[in-house]
Structure 1
């Protein structure tokens, strides 16, 4: 009834239709944990103490994926209200500062809100835990290039591709499949990244603010759309240096963000 090509398109459409009904994550579990693990190594003493006070034995790597895990919760907060906080939209040729955040907020406005809540001494421990987990997660989100979407294709979710014979979409490839392809645990990859981060890179990366992180991701985003739908060794080869740098930046910047946030009498305007 169907030719081979028609059957492939039918299967592809069915799978993608199911996938697009679900909210998009970023980096997947492993990528988020890599960023959290890198950041843990660079926390200042006050920040490390504050993180332990709020999260207890739960470190940054464990906390990093929690907001994505909670998106399976049927509560309206997780299924609707919190969904737009995982990304920003920056049309091609624009910067974040030239855009207007949607009414429901985005990753950067949510980061500002949760920063204030995490350091509020009058907030409940439960609320501060939620805030800190979101901060850890959203810093990671902002370093996934397709979470600075161009506003036309749901951050690459509508870009159908085949990755090493697996039907997928460009967003999923960058969230998970490129990382899974390397067959490394989050702790192995984090260790390798930390060994290569130089003092000059730490200084340069830590000075950037969230809007600049988003602009960097948008600039990368515009270079990673493939010329054809079949992705294999050449694409993985191109992507790995980008993955390494973005996760390294994410870890260093998460630590710098928390260090400034929890510094006694900190000037938090430096991280807005």
Structure 2
């Protein structure tokens, strides 16, 4: 009985922590698009920090390390994937909790990356987190409203399979197309005009958060069973958020390594 209770507790703890963004494919798309918009200075700096590692590969690292038993990953890093912005509020109306969030983590890791006296492994980890966090902030449900764990508590059926709203936006909508991240990257990057890239270029995470929170409030479905109609209505938003995420990861890194 004791073992059963312990197992149940561990399972519950794991379910609370499953707050991924975009899934593996989505993060790699934003990383790969970002690679195309890097300045020469940023590209050289990143190559020194992460030799033989693309931004697409780096982008998924913070999710892949979630099972690492180290205290950082089990006690601290989970809060760095999202922010909380109640409906009708702005981020600085509430600010970050004591444990921090994606916004404060982005500031923290940016300082570490630029600190040449910091250990190489810490700077590498920080760079991977920056790529990941900016991707996270373009998934609308990572600017959660504080009432439903970023949509994880919103249970529904997606194409006749049990799911939840967060999972649908992490990976369901993207994976339904059955494309590789490289196919997605090619198709989406070719459709970014110079005018769009210029308009989207900003290094201010508050803008990323504000946009995502606004989108978030409009993506809650009225029905518990969603399929083709929901896909049709929301896929243009998914595509643009992935495009914006890629352009802005590059913009942020270009500024950081300027």
Aligned equivalent of 2:129 = 134
Aligned equivalent of 1:153 = 148
Aligned equivalent of 1:216 = 211
Q: Deviations over 1:13-67 (max 9, x none)?
A: xxx9797344311100000000000000000000000111001100100000000
Aligned equivalent of 2:256 = 261
TM-score, L = length of structure 1 = 0.89
> Where does the alignment leave 5 or more consecutive residues of structure 1 unmatched?
1-15, 264-272
**Cα distance between partner residues in 1 of 2:127 and 2:193:** 27
1:56–1:208 distance in 2 versus 1, CA, 3 Å: closer
- The one of 115, 128, 143 equivalent to 1:120 is 115
Residues 1:44 and 2:39 are matched in the alignment:
yes
**Cα distance between partner residues in 2 of 1:220 and 1:32:** 19
Q: Aligned to 1:71, what secondary structure does the other structure show?
A: coil
Residues 1:238 and 2:236 are matched in the alignment:
no
TM-score, L = length of structure 2 = 0.93
**Cα distance between partner residues in 2 of 1:96 and 1:232:** 32
**Cα distance between partner residues in 1 of 2:187 and 2:92:** 34
Count, aligned residues: 248
Contact 1:64 1:136 in 2 (8 A): yes
**Cα distance between partner residues in 2 of 1:220 and 1:135:** 22
Structure 1, 114-123 or 31-40: larger mean CA deviation: 114-123
Contact 2:27 2:59 in 1 (8 A): yes
- The one of 72, 76, 83 equivalent to 1:81 is 76
Root mean square deviation, CA, Å: 1.4
Q: Deviations over 1:185-227 (max 9, x none)?
A: 1111111111111111111111351011001000000000000
Residues 1:58 and 2:68 are matched in the alignment:
no
Residues 1:25 and 2:20 are matched in the alignment:
yes
Aligned equivalent of 1:95 = 90
Q: Aligned to 2:88, what secondary structure does the other structure show?
A: coil
